[in-house]
Structure 1
Amino acid sequence: MPKHIERFKTKLFQNIFNHANGGIAIVSTEGKWIKINKSIVNFLGYEEDELYEMNFQDITHRDDLEIDLKYMHQLMRGEINNYQIEKRYFHKKGFVVWALLSVSLFKDEQGKPKYFIAQITDISDQKSASYQMEGLMSVVKEQNEKLKDFAHIATHDIRTHVGNLSSIIEFLEEDLEETLTANENFTMLKDSLRNLTETIEHLNLIRINKSRNVNRLRTLSLYQYVENSIYNVSALLKKENGQIINKIDKNLQIKGIEAYLDSIILNFLTNALKYKSEKRLPVIELTNVIDDDSVVLKIKDNGLGIDLNSNSEKLFTLNGTFHEHQDSRGIGLYITKNHIESMGGKIEVESKVGEGTCFSIYFLKAQDVSLKEDNKKVVV
């Protein structure tokens, strides 16, 4: 091949590599970055030289590392030709970013593995939208369950009263048959009552007997879920030079739904860091107390605090925001409150502007799964 054509192809490859919209990387079989393009630098937030001193394991979320390494080893052994997974990286600024990772293996002429070729596409926005949609859908589902409760009341309690009215009308007809037969108002009353009865029967047809969330709760270690959430914000915590103190009883167990409990704790920790005070380093303390049939998780921070006099009405409402922050959407606390209530709990808050906030989240104690849900009170 003529040298000028070879130089042209080399230059073309470099341009494609360096200016590709998505991330492209050459990674050694030990996991070290050999060559990366600008998109990866922008995606992860590190300088190029910093990344070359690291391997991808250093910034991969631990929950995604095992599956990534598993596929890499399968590539090395020739069991697969390539693989594609969704995985999380820790950005230099501390937060988690999501990527769609596609990997193939380059081998030399003797078939010996030389390096991996990785394509990394940022899907953080899609993931964030997906999580918000899932959260909102869970809220919609819960509201739908409440409508079913109303249908149950309508088809049971109200039907009893309608039955009594029907009996009274029958008695009146027996006693005053001649007088009422020609009475137009009485005829309208009978027709209205018949229509009401039909409406209630229609409600009864669409009502579905639900299995209450309390029957889906599992025994969970509150301490371990707190520890997992602390890990998930560890890089962000390091960036803010903050401290999280976990004083939860290691033997304490509650009844909950795994995904909900993860979301609840993580939301309060990230909010505490998001709304930190600029006058001091953030400190978050998690403790627990026992209150009758409940375990109360207390999450206390030393952040900006909330003016409850002005904001108590919108604290847990959809789109309710009370701090000027670019990431405030007013969705997190709304979804979190619904998650807590769906597990038979409640949430209370104490706060002082300029000093900090303490949220008290009530969970069911593990040994009290026989909770009479119809008698529980939810207080905000």
Structure 2
Amino acid sequence: MELERSKNAFADSIKNSKVGMALVSPSGQFLEANESLCALWGYNKEELKKLTFQEITHQEDLEKDLALLNEVINGKRDTYQLEKRYFDKKGQIVYALLTVTAVRDQEGTIQQFISQVIGLNERIKNENKLKKLLDITTNQNESLLNFAYIVSHNLRSHASNLALVCGLVNNNKLSASQREEAMLHLEKASSSLNETIDHLNDVVQIKIGGEQHLEKVDLKKTISNTLKGISALIAENKVAVTLDYQGTPNISGKLIYVESIVLNLISNAIKYRNTAIPAKIAIRVQELNDAVLLEVEDNGLGIDMEANGRNLFGMYKTFHKHKDAKGIGLFITKNQVEAIGGKIVATSSVNQGSTFSVKFKKHQV
């Protein structure tokens, strides 16, 4: 009678528990499950009893689960706990905290396992939200640091330069030719200040734009129009351009940003070509499951990634002594790519060339 009461109490505790609970055979077959567990996975009891835990466990988590289970079977432990992923009846991933305890008979043989499963989807969802917010905050902090650098260094330099030139212009002892030269310096200083402010304004506009109001952009057509627009530059520098399109390269973005991204990557490949060899640029577009990959590969001067990789997309970071190098192009390009939900990475070797890879969001019909 005491044993029967104990069995009934145990059965009631499983049945009424708010935590998902199941009795599982040594082979992994579900023997019993409460309503909480059925609700978590979307199966009814009869459906669940036809399954094993191995069948609904995510393959990447199964090996670790089985290793711990074998330690229990071999007497190295009585219980274990781990976070793992299951698949529910609809095939969707369910994150859960699993606790397994062995039930043995008097001889120490395992009769069954008691499994407690606590759903973690809400926690994982909140963690992902927190991570996204942290990423946004990190990016914003990086932007603020860049802005602070511009204001404290570049704008201050421009201001000092303007003050110095103005002092020269107001010097009554200057000859006409010296005054004319001072005016030219003043014009250059003013132009440089305007250029810096324009760069700042560009970055601000990109940040404000974000991923709002994205539109369908035909990447193939955009590349074609860009190449037509700089055909004279390509011909002048005798650059061989090859194109390779795989799939339908329609992306979700902003046309003005995509045009700028494509133009900057191609023009950079021309600008930093290796003049000792014939210049080549390979443009590849590949349709992926949920994205479109654009690759622009050249055989130019290349970059020492070990020394400069971390600063590649930094503002005012230059890596070659080119008269037109200002260190703003790749910084703007990265911001534009990220503003429309994309990612950009680069691989490069000195005198071997560079490959810039941009992953855009695929346009969903």
Normalized against structure 2, the TM-score is what?
0.49
Normalized against structure 1, the TM-score is what?
0.47
Q: Max radius of gyration: which structure?
A: 2
